[in-house]
Amino acid sequence: MNLRNRILLPLLLVIVIASIIAIAAMIMSLGQQQRQATTLAQESLEKSLGQLVKAKANTYANLYNSLEQRALEQASLFSQSQTVIEAYRHALTGNPLDENDQACREARAQLKEYFRGYGQGFATHAGSGSAPQIHFHIRPAQSLARTWRKGWQTSRGGERLDITDDLAGFRATVVQVIASGQPITGIEVGRGGFVVRGLAPIIDGTETVGSVETLVPYTPLLQLLQDSQHEHFGLFMDHDLLRIAEALTDEARFPRLEQRYVLAAATNTDAVFTAVSSEDLDRAQNEMVHMSRGDRRLMLIPVHDFSGERVGVVVGTIDIAPQLAELAQAQNQASAELRSLLITIIIGTTIFLIVLTIIVSWTIAHIAQPIRACINQMSTVAEYGDLSKDVDQLSIQRTDEIGQLSRSLQSLIDSLRTQCAIITDMAAGNWNLSIPIRSAHDETGAAIQGLIDQINLALTSVRMSALEVHSDAQQVQANSEALSQGATQSAAALEEIAASMAEIGSQAQGSADSASHAKRLTAAAQTAAETGARHMAEMMEAMGNINTSSQQIAAIVKIIDDIAFQTNLLALNAAVEAARAGRHGKGFAVVASEVRSLAARSAKAAQETTAVINSSRTTVSDGIRILDHTAASLEDIRKNISDAAQRAASIAQSSHDQAQGVAEVGHGLRQIEAVTQHASSSAEQTAITARDLSAQAHRLNDTLSYFQTRPSFHYTCLFDEQWTMKSIDAGITAIAGYDPTDMIENAVICYDDIIHPDDRKHVAEIISQAANTHSRWTLDYRVIHKDGTVMTVSEEGRAKYGPQGSVECLEGFVCRKA
């Protein structure tokens, strides 16, 4: 399957699945939205109905408060009337507790006559039936006058009576007002049912003599609440109050609800009575309750009397069928619109998929073509190693992922070209290179940089070894020349000693012949013996120097042999590294082979020198032993000569002994002369070998100069506090920026001054420890360039020692690290 199908088919499958999911999600979302809209409409309707119910409740409260206020206001008009007070005074002249008291009857007539003028005014201007019902009470709680009844007060057994009847048993408001002297408003169920009452006390001076109340019918309030034919209101009274409201006992007119409530009044009895249950009415205790019941909205308002006790419930029913019909119509319309929208979405999605397939196919083809070009380019690089071609510029200039891929491929080709160029420089001998490591995962760059570092380290070590071989060879040459010169001086001393011994022999022979000249000859012999002893001491010192020089030459040759061995190992390692480098390391392999050859010849020369020096040391040791014997003989001669002066009688015997001693000395001197000649010849041979070794080291340095390695320099300095520089080559300029002449004898700057301050103590401790323990040192530290930059260098060095074992100088090789 090609890239086009690999991309197109999954993409189309994903798009189809996504479209199906999107349509399903959209259907669910639209359904959810429809449900939410329905819920919102229902909530809106519920809220609207709630607001309507609350508005009705507020209207009811306002109307009720208005009725209370009007009742109290009307009652208050008569509470302070002088005519009313005079009537009460007259009534109190009699006995109010007597129903038929004449004084009370006269006062009643007076009050009704007084109120008749007010009633006529109401009838004339406000219409018949509009006159308020005014009821006068007299203490303690007797009905004095009901102004709306003409000629009678109350009825008993169907008979109307004009009496002062007792109200204390069922009119608590009357009892409370007369007792407290304070006005009262509110509902109090009476014989006629629910009435809104306003009671004001009648006070004569400071004494409450009675009260006056205005009765406002409650039923008109229900009619005022009804705003349309869809609304009906009714008043349910607690069934227990029928004992007071005698007028409501007719069950046909005032139906009872489960013998718990009585429908006292209603704008539509059937609509109100059938809308609620006693449980609904029980819920309305202290606050209004509203609910939906089918296509009606119910509101239940508790009715409390003047004392706060619930005496009934106002029930309101609102027909919400029109609103529910509108809501159902809106839901049906939304469902139809949803179906139409779904059909449109499906058709649009199908068209979208077709168009998208065409666009995606064209886009994939536009993407696949440059990708195939990149694949061909990578195949050319991977299979044939052809780096001559660049990636197409149009692909590189793109700003999308194809452009990024093309630029990455071009970057890879450029990187390979750079690495090939670096390897070419390495094959040409330039190892002073630095590979840019692009990241922690750049294994190729890290491997090449590692090879460069290893080759630089190997070449640096070989150059260091070559310099040490050259230096040691020069020292061996100097010591050999010194040894040869010492041997020549020893030969001259021996000639003088031989002449002295010949003179001693002649004197000894003359003393044997002429005893008369013994004293003179003895003195001359003593002088000659002292001279011989002095020359013998000089010769012994010269032989000691020869022996010391031989030991030093042996130690130096041993170092040369070690250096040759290390050079051989380094050359072997270099050959291995060159073999790993393949064809790029062939040139270096030849050089490594030549280095190994030079190291082998150096080792062979060192071994030959060691053999010659060992032979010379053996001969010198024999000469020293003979010199010891000779010195002893000369000491005996000196003693004999001294004894000869004291023992003149035995001069002949002494002369004979002296002749034998002289003969032995002459034999010893001949042996010493032979040894000295051999030592001189060995020293000359050693000097020649050292010159050859120095020349080989010089040729090795010339060979190594073919390679361009990192900057380095060789130095020699004294082992003192200032590190007094005796020699340093030009490599110091590349590392520290100073001219070599600036450091010779610390002319301008001391080498210790260019070492980083944080590393100086550590460097001094390492070098001092190595010098004092006759070992080499290798360490890394930082140096400060003349321009202030800081770089890290690696140093390898050793100390050179004098005849007494003390450090003469320090020699080191410093190379800049990568």
- pLDDT the model gives residue 93: 93
What is the mean pLDDT of the segment spanning 24-51? 76
What is the mean pLDDT of the segment spanning 724-738? 91
- pLDDT the model gives residue 2: 62
Cα–Cα distances (Å) from 543 to 319, 550, 634, 639, in that order, read 148, 10, 17, 25
Report the distance separating Cα 1 and Cα 12, nearest Å: 16
Hey, which bits of 701-753 come out as E strands?
712-717, 725-728
Mean pLDDT value across the chain? 81
For the cut 90, the answer to whether the pLDDT of residue 27 exceeds it is no
- pLDDT the model gives residue 318: 86
Short-list 188, 200, 138, CA closest to 165 = 138
Hey, which bits of 205-309 come out as E strands?
207-217, 231-238, 256-257, 261-266, 289-293, 296-304
Asked if 227 contacts 258 with a C-beta cutoff of 8 angstroms, the reply is no
Asked if 617 contacts 729 with a C-beta cutoff of 8 angstroms, the reply is no
Return the exposure string of 434-465: e unless at least 16 CB atoms fall within 10 Å of the residue's CB, then b: ebeeeeeeeeebeebbebbbbbbbbbbbbbbb
Lowest mean pLDDT among 399-403, 512-516, 711-715, 743-747: 512-516
For the cut 60, the answer to whether the pLDDT of residue 515 exceeds it is no
- pLDDT the model gives residue 754: 92
- pLDDT the model gives residue 95: 93
Two tokens, residue 509: 């022979």
Return the exposure string of 602-630: e unless at least 16 CB atoms fall within 10 Å of the residue's CB, then b: bbebbeebbebbeebbebbeebbebbeeb
For the cut 70, the answer to whether the pLDDT of residue 705 exceeds it is no
92 pLDDT tier (thresholds 50, 70, 90): very high
What is the mean pLDDT of the segment spanning 563-590? 76
- pLDDT the model gives residue 108: 92
Asked if 462 contacts 469 with a C-beta cutoff of 8 angstroms, the reply is no
Asked if 196 contacts 216 with a C-beta cutoff of 8 angstroms, the reply is yes
Asked if 617 contacts 554 with a C-beta cutoff of 8 angstroms, the reply is yes
Two tokens, residue 174: 């009357």
How many percent of the chain have pLDDT more than 70?
Answer: 84
Report the distance separating Cα 70 and Cα 73, nearest Å: 5
- pLDDT the model gives residue 763: 94
What is the mean pLDDT of the segment spanning 157-186? 89
* Predicted confidence (pLDDT) per residue in 111-141, tens digit: 888 888 777 777 677 654 557 889 999 999 9
* Predicted confidence (pLDDT) per residue in 456-502, tens digit: 767 676 766 766 676 777 777 777 777 777 767 776 776 777 677 77
Report the distance separating Cα 317 and Cα 360, nearest Å: 66
- pLDDT the model gives residue 4: 61
Report the distance separating Cα 524 and Cα 640, nearest Å: 13
451 pLDDT tier (thresholds 50, 70, 90): confident
How many percent of the chain have pLDDT more than 90?
Answer: 21
For the cut 80, the answer to whether the pLDDT of residue 312 exceeds it is yes
339 pLDDT tier (thresholds 50, 70, 90): confident
* Predicted confidence (pLDDT) per residue in 43-54, tens digit: 777 787 778 788
716 pLDDT tier (thresholds 50, 70, 90): very high
For the cut 80, the answer to whether the pLDDT of residue 657 exceeds it is no
Asked if 353 contacts 325 with a C-beta cutoff of 8 angstroms, the reply is no
Lowest mean pLDDT among 150-159, 623-632, 772-781, 782-791: 623-632
* Predicted confidence (pLDDT) per residue in 192-217, tens digit: 888 899 999 999 988 999 999 998 88
Asked if 156 contacts 93 with a C-beta cutoff of 8 angstroms, the reply is no
3 pLDDT tier (thresholds 50, 70, 90): low
For the cut 90, the answer to whether the pLDDT of residue 397 exceeds it is no
Cα–Cα distances (Å) from 669 to 67, 267, 638, in that order, read 168, 171, 18
User: What is the CB-side half-sphere exposure of residue 222 using CA atoms within 13 A?
Assistant: 28
Cβ burial of 109 (10 Å; 0-12, 13-18, 19+) is: middle
388 pLDDT tier (thresholds 50, 70, 90): confident
Report the distance separating Cα 482 and Cα 476, nearest Å: 10
- Where is pLDDT greater, at 372 or 508? 372
Lowest mean pLDDT among 279-283, 307-311, 557-561: 557-561
- pLDDT the model gives residue 769: 93
Query: Which string of DSSP letters, residue by residue, matches 346-411?
Result: HHHHHHHHHHHHHHHHHHHHHHHHHHHHHHHHHHHHHHH---SPPPPHHHHT--SHHHHHHHHHHH
Rounded to a whole number, what is the largest CA-CA distance in the chain?
Answer: 219
- pLDDT the model gives residue 320: 78
- pLDDT the model gives residue 662: 66
What is the mean pLDDT of the segment spanning 346-370? 79
Lowest mean pLDDT among 122-126, 242-246, 739-743: 122-126
